[in-house]
Structure 1
Amino acid sequence: MSEPIRVVVTGAAGQIAYSLLYIIANGEVFGKDQKLVLTLLDIPPMMGVLEGVVMELHDCAFPLLTEVIPTADPAVAFKDVSAAFLVGAMPRREGMERKDLLSANVKIFKVQGEALNNHAKKDVKVLVVGNPANTNALICSHFAPSIPKENFTAMTRLDQNRARAQIAQRLGTDISNVKNLIIWGNHSATQYPDAANGTANGKPVTDLVEASYLQSDFVTTVQKRGAAVIAARKMSSAMSAAKAAADHIRDWWHGTESGRFVSMGVVSDGSYGIPKDIVFSFPVEIKNKQWKIVQGLKLDSFARSKLDITTKELLEEKEEAMAVCNGN
C-alpha cells in the first residue's frame, strides 16, 4: 500500500457526488492499492446532509479510505490535495441569462482557484464538472497562477460516453468495441460529437453507419442528452456524470492505451486552428499523467462549421467571464 493521497470533492452533498464518492473510495479511480484521504467541501447550509454522507462512507468500510474530512472551508478542503473534482457550481435556473450564470460561477471558482493556488499540491489534477464547465475551468485556472494551466480540465467525457453508447446501440454491439469518438468544443448544446475518426469492431464507424445519421440525429441526440434526462427524470444526470468524472481522472492518472484517445476540455494551444487560451474539448492521449492533444486528424467542412459554432460560444463566455473577473 502506498502513502495516502488527498482528494477533494466539491458539492459533496449533492447528487453527482453521492455516486462519485463510492467510485473513488472503492479504488476504481486511483487504484486498488492507493489509500485515500477524502475532503468533502460544500456550503454551510449543507453540512447536515454532508454529515450523513460521511456516515455512509464510514459504513461502507472501504479498506482504502483512511480519513474523511467534511468542511465548508476551502482552505481545509484543498490542503495538499493531489486531485480535485470540482462538482459544485451554480446551476442555471429558469429565466437566468448566461451572463448571470457566469457571474455567479466566477465568484465560486475564484474562491476555489485561490484555495488551490494557496493550499493544493502544485501538480494537482483538477477536473471541473460543474457547468458551464469549460469556462469555469478557465476561471479557476486564472485565479491559480502558480499551478500550470495544463492541470485544469473540464469534463466532456460524459458526452463521449453518450456518443459511444448511441453508436453501440445503433450497431447492436458491445460498447467496449466502440472507440475514438470525439467531443470537440464546449460542454453545451454547441459541442460537436464526431464519429469520423471512430471505430466499431475494428472498422471505421463511417463505413458502418450512414452519414445522414452521423451528421443529424447522432449529433443532436448527444448535444441534447442532458436535457432529455432532465425531462424524463426531473433531475439532472448524476450517476452517468459521476461515472464520467471517474473515467476522466482515472485515465489522467493511469494513462490511455496506445492508439486510444479520450475527450477532455483542456487549454487550447492553437491546435486545429482553435484560438489559444480557451478551454476546448479535444481528443487527447495521456502518458505519465500528462495529456497531449492528438494531432493530424481530418476535419471536413461539416465538422469545421460545427467547430466554428462552439468556438464562438466559448469566446463569448470567456469575454463575459473575464469582464466579471476584472470587475471584482
Structure 2
Amino acid sequence: MEGGAVKVVVTGAAGQIGYSILPMICSGHMLGANTHIDLGLLDIPQCEEALRGVVMELQDCSYPLITQIRHGSDPREILRDADIIIFLGGFPRKAGMERKELLQRNCNIFKEQGAALNEVGKQTTLCLVVANPANTNCLILSHFAPNIPRKNFSAMTRLDHNRSMHQIAARAGVHSSAVKNVIIWGNHSSTQYPDVNHGTVNGHPIKQTLNDDAWLHGEFITTVQRRGAAIIEARKLSSAMSAAKAAVDHVRTWVQGTPEGEHVSMAVLSDGSYGIDEGLCYSYPVTCANKEWHVVQGLHIDEFSREKMELTKRELIEERDEALS
C-alpha cells in the first residue's frame, strides 16, 4: 500500500451501492485527500455493459486521485494484488425467497470469489464484506481463502453503528458527533443488539443522559434493527447511500485508526472473546491501529445484554451451519 497508488477493488460495482460509494472513494473520503488510487471494478458478465457506463462516468469526473481504472468480470484478473477489496456483489433476497436459498446462492458466489482471492490476493489484502448476509458471506470468503490471514476479513455493521448514533443524538437533542462508543453486537440482521451501556453523550454516560431505560431497551433497539426495512418501505429501494457511507467509514477507520478512547463496531472472525464461538463472524466493539483491529476487552455485560448477544449468536451459528452444509 505504501509508496504508489493503493489498489482498491469494488465488487458488484455496477449496482446501487456501487453508484453511491465510487464518488466517495474517488474523492478521497475513504483514504485521504493525498492518496492515489488504482481502481478495480468487478461485476458479473450480465452487468458488464452497465459497468462500462459507470467507468465512462468516472472518467468524465476526472478525479485527480485516480491513476487507473480496471474493470471486468474475471475475479482473478480484477482482485489480483489488491490492497483493499469491498465486496458489494451478492445475490439479493427476492420476494418469497427463503433465507436458506439466499444463503446457498451467496455461499456459491463467495466460495468462488474466495478461491480466486486465495490465488491472486496478498497477505496484506484487507477485505470488507457488505453484501448480505454479510457476516456469513465474510465467514465463507475467509474459509475459501486460507492464504489470507483471518484478521484481514471483516463484515460491515458500521451502518447499524451509525444508525444507533443518530437515534441517540436525536433523542438527546445533540449532534451525532457528540455520541461515542455505542456497540453493535452480533449479526447484521434484525437480531443484532445495539448496546449503549458503554457509550457517552458529550462525555457523559448515555443511560444517565437519557434516563429512559424503557426507550433504550425497547423502541431504540427495534428502530435500529428495522431501519433498513423502514427505508425500503419509504423509498421502495434499499439504503444504498447510507450503506456506501458506512463502508467508507469502516475502511477509513480500519486503515487510519480509531481516535484515543473511542471504538467502533466491526464484524470480525471471533477469537472467543465474550463467550462467542471462535471463528464465527460476529460484530464486536473494536479499536484500530496500523491497519489491524483489536476487540475491546473487559467490558461488563449485564444480564439483558447477555441474552441479546446469545440470541444473535445462535442465528449466526444457524447461518454458518446452513451455508457450509
Q: CA deviation at 1:212?
A: 0.7
Give the unaligned 5+ runs of structure 1.
324-328
Query: Which residue in 1 is equivalent to 2:68?
Result: 67
1:80 and 1:31 map into 2 onto residues whose CA distance is 21
Query: Which residue in 1 is equivalent to 2:275?
Result: 273
1:174 and 1:186 map into 2 onto residues whose CA distance is 27
Q: CA deviation at 1:49?
A: 1.0
**SS of alignment partner, residue 62 of structure 1:** coil
1:199 and 1:321 map into 2 onto residues whose CA distance is 38
Q: CA deviation at 1:2?
A: 4.0
Q: Which amino acid aligns with 2:216?
A: L
Q: CA deviation at 1:250?
A: 0.4
Q: Which amino acid aligns with 1:304?
A: R
Q: Which deviations, in whole Å up to 9, do the C-alpha atoms of 1:265-308 show, x marking residues without a partner?
A: 00111111111110000000011111000001111111111011
Query: Which residue in 1 is equivalent to 2:47?
Result: 46
Query: Which residue in 2 is equivalent to 1:261?
Result: 263
Q: Which deviations, in whole Å up to 9, do the C-alpha atoms of 1:175-206 show, x marking residues without a partner?
A: 11000000000000000000111100111000
Query: Which residue in 1 is equivalent to 2:170?
Result: 169
Task: Give 1:78-227 correspondences, 5 Å limit.
Answer: 78-209=79-210, 210-227=212-229
Query: How many residues were matched structurally?
Result: 323
Maintained 8 Å contact 2:190/2:226: yes
1:319 and 1:239 map into 2 onto residues whose CA distance is 32
Maintained 8 Å contact 2:121/2:148: no
1:200 and 1:182 map into 2 onto residues whose CA distance is 14
Maintained 8 Å contact 2:35/2:65: yes
Q: Which amino acid aligns with 1:233?
A: R
Aligned residue among 283, 305, 308 for 1:306: 308
Q: Any runs of at least 4 consecutive aligned residues in structure 1 with deviations exceeding 6 A, and if so which?
A: none
1:145 and 1:2 map into 2 onto residues whose CA distance is 27
Q: Which deviations, in whole Å up to 9, do the C-alpha atoms of 1:208-240 show, x marking residues without a partner?
A: 121111000000000000000000000001000
1:18 and 1:75 map into 2 onto residues whose CA distance is 23
2:115 and 2:83 map into 1 onto residues whose CA distance is 16
Give the unaligned 5+ runs of structure 2.
none
The two structures have a TM-score, normalised by structure 1, of 0.97
Identity of aligned residues (%): 54
2:160 and 2:285 map into 1 onto residues whose CA distance is 12
